[in-house]
Amino acid sequence: MIGRLNHVAIVVPDLDAAASLYRNTFGATVSAAKDQPAHGVTTVFVRLDNTAIELLHPLGADSPVAKFLERNPSGGVHHVCYEVDDIYAARDKLKADGMRVLGDGEPKIGAHDKPILFLHPKDTNGTLVELEQVSA
């Protein structure tokens, strides 16, 4: 059901410094920062040959990653994102297998303008998992 690894998301306390590290030290291609008000984050994508790194920074006091950063002031891995062909079929199969989908269970539009869902980390070995539909 899951396809390739789409990205690994890392919450960072200083988005400019993190982007600079990947751009100037690691020599990666780094996008411009983009505010995602619907998600309460500012994102930067680091493009790699086989996947991407999504750098996340809180956007506003109600950001869902603000509490993560409070608990982990140096930042850290927040979630992994796997691609799926059909987000609804994936959701229905996972729910039938006892997995919990976060929120109301309906896909939302993510930072790539594609449907996404998150799975409860208690059901996925302690890792927050995002599923992103990549087909049209």
Active site residues: 130
Helix count (H) and strand count (E) of the chain? 3, 9
Radius of gyration of the chain (CA): 15
| Terminal alpha carbon distance of the chain | 16
CB 115 within 8 A of CB 87: yes
Which helix H or strand E contains 46, and what residues bound it?
Answer: strand 41-47
